[in-house]
């Protein structure tokens, strides 16, 4: 299932993981601008020299890097500009590497922009020039050693935080979602424009695809990935996890609690879940399996038995099956009932009481069938099939040759085990580097055409 | 082809020559200024002026001259900011002063404007009762009518309806003219300020001047100038739109005071509301004059019952960055239309609830409006003097002096009004 989720994803902060993390090592790698603003600036000798008022940005390749801080000195009230390199820590107070009298006069270069002047409170306009919302807060995160602007907060919680009301109503605040728009959705800043422009249309702003969240995750540090994943709804988290590349998946699950992993796996496609479990240590995998819902765990375990790069390892156990005496209207009823949760509903497999594959009905056959007929009469009996031990290449060749969307996996005794879908097969055979080479207008195309 | 309309009059060449083309541009940009200024004479305004005339005769007529100046100074700045920046006042406040002032103003303005909207529906109920229509019929019908006009119309059709409503204010002028004013006497009364230290008189001066400028006007005017899309090159015509609007409005106020002074004051009758004034006019001024007076009140209340919620909706959407505007369809600017709908529904509903605490609501809204006004005016002055925003269109030194003086005087008078409202509101 690949339902679209809101772009203004519900990123809870400070969520459980954030708190846990902050408590464990005292660092706070993701923070909102409003939480930094007004922080004390402390020099090497522990003297408070001023309060943070602003940050400057240097446009980078993907993300905007924070290049300097601006603070109001507490002696003369003048604005002082310092490069990020002279700051040793921003956890708690902002600590400088130098003593008070060593602070050099700094100034912004022409390309640098101030957060309060160019981003905060500015109007966000979509690709069609329609107003969407204003920037209420800015989300910063440590990405590869530098502090970067990763997203803008457009939610009500951002407003409360700016009003300084977040402390008053922690309990209430935790329940409210943050509405975050990742920076990757925003066009490069142009100070001469009077607003911030989105790359997408307002109508699709509620369509941040899990694959896009996955792309963002891949760019972040592992801690930030977990933080964001933790804050997604269970279902979105699972869908996002499916889209993350396997190496990143492996790093991520290593640092996650078995409980959390189990929750995510339950919501993933069984075949993807099996792959993910296959990458974990044996101890952890069995621990996770024990924590999972029994039914789900069983399916996943069966899939895990198949060797890598076999049709069995690639197949999913989610498909639509009906008995041969099922009438055409009943098949439609079943499709409507379970079609929401199953990826591929274009083939209906007809099984005997012993789960033996008897035939297949395509959606086309079904639509054209006489409502008085039953599954046994409509189905095609000649079904191209593979064994669980067949190679991925074999399954892929069949899909390609016959233009199938999926091919059933059936054991020696004719018992139906699952299906290999074309998209899973495609993932398997396209070289990794080719996948990264997307057309320049890929994101837009996908939205326009609804390619999932 | 240039056709000099006034050229042939040859008044020593001192009259500015207006060409047909210029007249066409003027008629094109005309609207926001006239509409905003006219709505200043809403149910509350008409009540205040009626009481001023009925209780103090001609002695308050002079206040309309400084009022016109103050109105012009403030409105002109809004129109100028709208034309030059292309943004509404709430947009500018949010972008330049941040979330805190925006949210404080927003909350205040929603409550205050809800109160004023309720007062407009009370005006509709009162005026229709003069025509013998129950409020349980007139108020729901008016609410639906006002809602439909804005939701179904686009900017240009709505502006035409509003301009039509503005022209209906002429009923007050006609109502006054039916009394055959003695112009010479009126003129001398107007240019000689008669200041009395009587507390009732001072209270009335504060009331008349204090109701002149309300925060909603600034937001509405600037937002509609922006939505209308007036170009900088057309600004001089918008300035005239504002100027003409202020003058027309105060001429209307003048005739309301005059009508009540010539009749009700002359007979020493006490009134409490605009409805009392209209009813008192029947035996004193004849039924034509009274009917016109009542119809004027109905028109003004209907008009303002639409503009106040609109102004609120503009503020909310600009402040939060949501799409807004009369040209949008309902679901393209959902927050805009939902707030508009909600304010009308609540405002109308309060009037229909038996024993609703109307007086408390009015006092509350007056207190909030009065407290917000100094804040809004100071923000406006800071914004209009920002070179970054306004470029060469910042205030001149002389204009700034007048503007700051206006701001300070209006703020003091408004705060005095707040104080008196609080005293009388809690006293009752």
- Which residues of chain A are within 8 Å of residue B86 when distances are taken between CB atoms? 194
Q: Kindly report, as residue ranges, where domains of CATH 3.10.580.10 are found in chain A.
A: 312-429
- pLDDT tens digit string along B268-293? 888 888 888 888 888 887 788 888 88
Radius of gyration of chain B (CA): 21
- Which residues of chain B are within 8 Å of residue A131 when distances are taken between CB atoms? 317, 321-324
Q: Among all chains, which residue has been given the structure tokens 């106040």?
A: B308
- Which residues of chain A are within 8 Å of residue B315 when distances are taken between CB atoms? none
Nearest to A45 by CA among A104, A101, A106: A101
Task: Say whether residue B103 is in contact with chain A using an 8 A CB cutoff.
Answer: yes
- Which residues of chain B are within 8 Å of residue A120 when distances are taken between CB atoms? 98
**Contact between chains at A134 and B321 (C-beta distance less than 8 A):** yes
**Contact between chains at B103 and A122 (C-beta distance less than 8 A):** no
Measure in Å the smallest separation between the Cα of A62 and chain B Cα atoms.
26
Residue B381: pLDDT band by 50, 70, 90 thresholds? Answer: very high
Write the DSSP string, A275-306.
HHHHTS-HHHHHHHHHHS-HHHHHHHHHHHTS
CA distance B340 to B314: 9
Q: Which fold has domain B30-387+394-427?
A: Amino acid/polyamine transporter I (1.20.1740)
| Residue B101: Cβ-neighbour burial (10 angstroms; 0-12, 13-18, 19+) | middle
- The answer to whether A333 and A392 have CB atoms below 8 angstroms apart is no
Tell me if the domain spanning A214-305 has CATH number 2.70.240.10.
Answer: no
**Contact between chains at A132 and B320 (C-beta distance less than 8 A):** no
**What is the sign, positive or negative, of the torsion defined by CA atoms of A292, A296, A298, A304?**
negative
Q: What is the DSSP letter of B262?
A: I
**Contact between chains at B321 and A124 (C-beta distance less than 8 A):** yes
- Which residues of chain B are within 8 Å of residue A134 when distances are taken between CB atoms? 94, 319-321
Q: Which fold has domain A312-429?
A: CBS-domain (3.10.580)
* A55: β partners: A69
Phi, psi dihedral angles at B68 (to 5 degrees): -60, -40
Among A122, A124, A136, whose Cβ lies nearest the Cβ of B95?
A122
- The answer to whether A300 and A273 have CB atoms below 8 angstroms apart is yes
CA distance B253 to B193: 17
Nearest to B86 by CA among A59, A86, A194: A194
- pLDDT tens digit string along B50-88? 888 888 888 888 888 988 998 999 999 999 999 999 889
Task: Say whether residue B388 is in contact with chain A using an 8 A CB cutoff.
Answer: no
- Which residues of chain A are within 8 Å of residue B100 when distances are taken between CB atoms? 162-163
Find the length of chain A. Answer: 452
Measure in Å the smallest separation between the Cα of A133 and chain B Cα atoms.
4
Helix (H, G, I), strand (E, B) or coil at A346: coil
- Reading phi first (left if > 0) and then psi (alpha if -120 to 50, else beta), residue A146 is in beta
Measure in Å the smallest separation between the Cα of B281 and chain A Cα atoms.
51
- The answer to whether A88 and A94 have CB atoms below 8 angstroms apart is no
Q: Say what the pLDDT of residue A170 is.
A: 59
Q: Say what the pLDDT of residue A62 is.
A: 60
**Contact between chains at A162 and B98 (C-beta distance less than 8 A):** yes
Walk along chain A (452 residues) and give the pLDDT tens digit of each residue.
Answer: 333 333 333 333 333 333 333 333 333 467 788 888 888 888 888 888 888 888 888 876 566 788 888 888 887 878 888 888 888 877 778 888 888 777 777 777 777 888 888 888 888 887 777 777 888 888 887 766 778 887 788 877 788 888 877 665 556 655 666 677 777 777 766 666 667 777 666 655 545 667 777 777 776 667 767 766 776 667 778 888 888 888 888 888 888 888 888 888 888 888 888 888 888 888 888 888 888 888 888 888 877 777 777 888 888 888 999 998 999 999 999 898 888 888 888 999 999 988 899 999 999 999 999 989 999 999 998 888 898 888 888 888 888 888 888 999 998 888 898 999 988 888 777 765 555 555 555 554 444 444 33
Measure in Å the smallest separation between the Cα of B378 and chain A Cα atoms.
20
Q: What angle do CA A272, A276, A280 make, to 5 degrees?
A: 165
Nearest to B313 by CA among B76, B80, B90, B145: B90
**What is the sign, positive or negative, of the torsion defined by CA atoms of B231, B237, B239, B244?**
negative
Among A132, A133, A163, whose Cβ lies nearest the Cβ of B103?
A163
**Contact between chains at A130 and B103 (C-beta distance less than 8 A):** no
Percent over 70 (pLDDT), chain B:
95
Find which of B104, B321, B329, B391 to mutate to test the A interface (most A CBs within 10 Å of its CB).
B321
Among B103, B323, B332, whose Cβ lies nearest the Cβ of A159?
B103
- pLDDT tens digit string along B119-141? 899 989 988 988 888 889 899 99
**What is the sign, positive or negative, of the torsion defined by CA atoms of A380, A381, A387, A390?**
negative
Task: Say whether residue B408 is in contact with chain A using an 8 A CB cutoff.
Answer: no
In which element (H, E) is residue A209 found?
none
Task: Say whether residue B223 is in contact with chain A using an 8 A CB cutoff.
Answer: no
Task: Say whether residue B324 is in contact with chain A using an 8 A CB cutoff.
Answer: yes
pLDDT over 70 at B426, yes or no: no
Measure in Å the smallest separation between the Cα of A405 and chain B Cα atoms.
39
Measure in Å the smallest separation between the Cα of A131 and chain B Cα atoms.
5
Q: What is the mean pLDDT of residues B377-392?
A: 90
Q: What is the mean pLDDT of residues B300-313?
A: 90
Q: Among all chains, which residue has been given the structure tokens 């922690």?
A: A170
**Contact between chains at B99 and A121 (C-beta distance less than 8 A):** yes
How many other CB atoms sit within 10 Å of the CB of residue B228?
21
Higher pLDDT, B212 or B81: B81
**What is the sign, positive or negative, of the torsion defined by CA atoms of B49, B106, B119, B244?**
positive
Q: What is the ipTM of this complex?
A: 0.72
Measure in Å the smallest separation between the Cα of A129 and chain B Cα atoms.
10
In which element (H, E) is residue B34 found?
helix B32-39
Helix (H, G, I), strand (E, B) or coil at B272: coil
**What is the sign, positive or negative, of the torsion defined by CA atoms of A355, A360, A363, A369?**
negative
Residue-averaged pLDDT of chain B = 84
In chain A, which residue's Cα lies nearest the Cα of B333? A131
Q: What is the mean pLDDT of residues B8-35?
A: 69
- The answer to whether B60 and B204 have CB atoms below 8 angstroms apart is yes
- Which residues of chain A are within 8 Å of residue B322 when distances are taken between CB atoms? 131-133
CA dihedral B79, B388, A149, A136 (to 10 degrees): -30
Q: Say what the pLDDT of residue B395 is.
A: 87
pLDDT over 80 at B309, yes or no: yes
**Contact between chains at A162 and B323 (C-beta distance less than 8 A):** no
**Contact between chains at A132 and B100 (C-beta distance less than 8 A):** no
Within 8 A by CB and 6+ apart from A23, the residues are: none
Q: Kindly report, as residue ranges, where domains of CATH 1.25.60.10 are found in chain A.
A: 214-305
Task: Say whether residue B91 is in contact with chain A using an 8 A CB cutoff.
Answer: yes
Greatest pairwise CA separation for chain B in angstroms: 67
Q: What is the DSSP letter of A307?
A: P
**Contact between chains at A130 and B95 (C-beta distance less than 8 A):** no
Task: Say whether residue A133 is in contact with chain B using an 8 A CB cutoff.
Answer: yes
**Contact between chains at B100 and A162 (C-beta distance less than 8 A):** yes
Q: Say what the pLDDT of residue B425 is.
A: 59
How many other CB atoms sit within 10 Å of the CB of residue A107?
7
- The answer to whether A229 and A217 have CB atoms below 8 angstroms apart is yes
Q: Among all chains, which residue has been given the structure tokens 């407003």?
A: A159
Q: What is the mean pLDDT of residues B172-192?
A: 85
**Contact between chains at B100 and A163 (C-beta distance less than 8 A):** yes
Give contacts of A 139-168 with B, CB under 8 A.
Answer: 154, 159, 162-163
Phi, psi dihedral angles at B187 (to 5 degrees): -60, -45
Helix (H, G, I), strand (E, B) or coil at A112: coil
* A380: β partners: A360
Task: Say whether residue B98 is in contact with chain A using an 8 A CB cutoff.
Answer: yes
Greatest pairwise CA separation for chain A in angstroms: 91
Nearest to A138 by CA among A150, A126, A156: A150
Find which of A121, A125, A132, A164 to mutate to test the B interface (most B CBs within 10 Å of its CB).
A121
């Amino acid at each position: 299932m690949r339902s679209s989720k809101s772009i203004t994803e519900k990123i809870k902060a400070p969520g459980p993981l954030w708190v846990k993390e902050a408590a464990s090592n005292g660092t706070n790698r993701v923070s909102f601008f409003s939480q930094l603003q007004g922080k004390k600036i402390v020099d090497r000798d522990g003297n408070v020299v001023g309060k943070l008022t602003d940050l400057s940005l240097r446009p980078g390749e993907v993300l905007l890097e924070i290049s300097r801080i601006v603070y109001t000195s507490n002696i003369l009230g003048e604005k002082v500009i310092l490069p990020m390199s002279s700051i040793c820590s921003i956890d708690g107070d902002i600590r400088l590497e130098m003593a008070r009298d060593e602070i050099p006069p700094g100034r912004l270069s022409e390309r640098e922009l101030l957060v309060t002047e160019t981003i905060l409170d500015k109007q966000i306009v979509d690709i069609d020039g329609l107003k969407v919302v204003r920037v209420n807060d800015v989300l910063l995160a440590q990405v590869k050693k530098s502090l970067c602007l990763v997203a803008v907060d457009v939610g009500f919680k951002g407003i409360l935080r700016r009003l300084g009301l977040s402390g008053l109503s922690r309990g209430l605040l935790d329940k409210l979602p943050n509405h975050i728009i990742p920076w990757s959705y925003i066009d490069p800043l142009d100070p001469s424009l009077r607003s911030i422009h989105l790359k997408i249309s307002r109508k699709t702003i509620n369509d941040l695809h899990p694959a896009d969240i996955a792309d963002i995750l891949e760019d972040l540090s592992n801690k930030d990935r977990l933080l964001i994943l933790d804050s997604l709804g269970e279902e979105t988290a699972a869908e996002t996890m499916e889209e993350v590349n396997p190496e990143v998946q492996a790093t991520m699950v290593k640092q996650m609690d078995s409980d959390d992993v189990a929750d995510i796996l339950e919501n993933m496609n069984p075949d993807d879940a099996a792959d993910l479990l296959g990458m974990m240590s044996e101890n952890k995998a069995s621990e996770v399996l024990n924590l999972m819902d029994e039914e789900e765990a069983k399916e996943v375990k069966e899939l895990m038995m198949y060797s890598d790069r076999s049709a069995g390892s690639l197949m999913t156990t989610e498909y639509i099956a009906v008995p041969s005496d099922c009438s055409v209207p009943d098949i439609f009823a079943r499709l409507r009932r379970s079609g929401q949760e199953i990826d591929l509903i274009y083939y209906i497999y007809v099984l005997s009481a012993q789960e033996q594959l008897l035939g297949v009905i395509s959606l086309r056959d079904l639509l054209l069938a006489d409502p008085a007929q039953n599954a046994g009469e409509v189905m095609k009996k000649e079904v191209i099939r593979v064994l669980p031990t067949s190679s991925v290449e074999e399954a892929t060749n069949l899909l390609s040759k016959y233009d199938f969307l999926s091919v059933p996996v059936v054991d020696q005794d004719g018992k139906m085990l699952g299906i290999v879908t074309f998209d899973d097969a495609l993932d398997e055979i396209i070289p990794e580097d080719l996948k990264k080479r997307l057309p320049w207008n890929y994101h837009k195309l996908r939205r326009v055409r609804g390619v999932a | 082809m240039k056709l000099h309309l006034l050229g042939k009059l040859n008044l020593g060449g001192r009259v500015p020559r207006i060409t047909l083309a210029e007249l066409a541009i003027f008629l094109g940009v005309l609207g926001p200024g006239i509409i905003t200024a006219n709505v200043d004479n809403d149910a509350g305004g008409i009540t205040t002026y009626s009481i001023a005339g009925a209780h103090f005769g001609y002695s308050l007529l002079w206040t309309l001259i400084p009022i016109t100046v103050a109105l012009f100074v403030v409105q002109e700045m809004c129109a100028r900011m709208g034309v030059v920046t292309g943004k509404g006042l709430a947009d500018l406040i949010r972008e330049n002063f941040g979330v805190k002032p925006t949210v404080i103003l927003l909350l205040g303005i929603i409550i205050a404007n809800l109160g004023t909207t309720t007062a407009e529906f009370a005006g509709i109920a009162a005026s229709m009762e003069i025509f013998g229509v129950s409020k349980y019929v007139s108020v729901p019908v008016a609410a639906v009518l006002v809602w439909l006009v804005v939701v179904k119309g686009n900017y240009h059709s709505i502006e035409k309806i509003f301009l039509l409503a503005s022209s209906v204010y002429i009923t007050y002028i006609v109502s006054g003219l039916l009394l055959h004013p003695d112009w010479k006497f009126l003129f001398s009364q107007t240019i000689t300020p008669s200041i009395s230290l009587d507390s009732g008189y001072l209270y009335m001066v504060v009331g008349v001047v204090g109701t002149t400028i309300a925060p909603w006007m600034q937001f509405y005017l600037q937002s509609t100038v922006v939505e209308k899309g007036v170009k900088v090159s057309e600004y001089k015509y918008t300035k005239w739109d504002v100027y003409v609007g202020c003058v027309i409005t105060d001429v209307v106020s003048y005739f309301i005071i005059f009508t009540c002074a010539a009749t009700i004051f002359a007979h020493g009758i006490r009134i409490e509301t605009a409805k009392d004034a209209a009813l008192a006019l029947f035996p004193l001024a004849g039924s034509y004059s009274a009917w016109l007076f009542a119809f004027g009140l109905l028109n003004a209340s209907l008009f303002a019952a639409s503009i106040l919620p609109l102004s609120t909706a503009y503020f909310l959407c600009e402040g939060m960055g949501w799409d807004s505007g009369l040209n949008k369809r309902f679901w393209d600017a959902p927050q805009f239309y939902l707030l508009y709908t909600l304010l009308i529904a609540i405002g109308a509903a309060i009037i229909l609830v038996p024993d609703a605490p109307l007086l408390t609501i009015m006092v509350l809204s007056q207190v909030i409006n009065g407290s917000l006004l100094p804040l809004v005016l100071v923000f406006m002055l800071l914004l209009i003097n920002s070179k970054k925003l306004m470029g060469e269109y910042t205030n001149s030194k002389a204009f700034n002096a007048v503007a700051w003086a206006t701001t300070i005087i209006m703020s003091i008078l408004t705060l005095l009004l707040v104080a008196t409202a609080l005293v009388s509101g809690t006293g009752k």
